[in-house]
Amino acid sequence: MSDTKKHQIDIKVRGYHLDVYGHVNNARYLEFLEEGRWAFFECNHSLEPFLQSDIAFVVVNININYRRPAYMNEVLTVETFISKVGSRSGTIKQVVSLSQTGAVVADAEVTFVLYDAKQDRAIAIEGDMRQLLEQLLVTTEVAQ
Q: Give the model's pLDDT for residue 16.
A: 96
Total structural domains within the chain = 1
Q: What angle do CA 62, 67, 40 make, to 5 degrees?
A: 50
Q: Does residue 114 belong to any structural domain of this protein? A: yes
Q: Does residue 1 belong to any structural domain of this protein? A: no
Active site residues: 19
Q: Which domain holds residue 24?
A: 7-135
Per run of 10 residues, the mean pLDDT along the chain (length 144 residues) is: 77 97 96 96 81 87 98 98 97 98 98 94 94 88 47
User: For 13-144, where are the E strands, in sequence order?
Assistant: 55-66, 75-85, 90-98, 104-116, 121-123
Q: Does residue 16 belong to any structural domain of this protein? A: yes
Task: Annotate 94-106 with b (16+ C-beta within 10 A) or e (fewer).
Answer: bbbbbeeeeebbb
CATH code of 42's domain = 3.10.129.10
Q: What angle do CA 50, 121, 39 make, to 5 degrees?
A: 30
Say what the pTM is.
Answer: 0.89
Q: Does residue 49 belong to any structural domain of this protein? A: yes
Q: Give the model's pLDDT for residue 141.
A: 54
Q: Does residue 101 belong to any structural domain of this protein? A: yes
Q: Does residue 141 belong to any structural domain of this protein? A: no
Q: Does residue 140 belong to any structural domain of this protein? A: no
Task: Annotate 22-60 with b (16+ C-beta within 10 A) or e (fewer).
Answer: ebbeeebbeebbeebbebbbeeeebeebeeeeebebeee
Q: Give the model's pLDDT for residue 140.
A: 65
Q: Does residue 123 belong to any structural domain of this protein? A: yes
Q: Give the model's pLDDT for residue 144.
A: 44
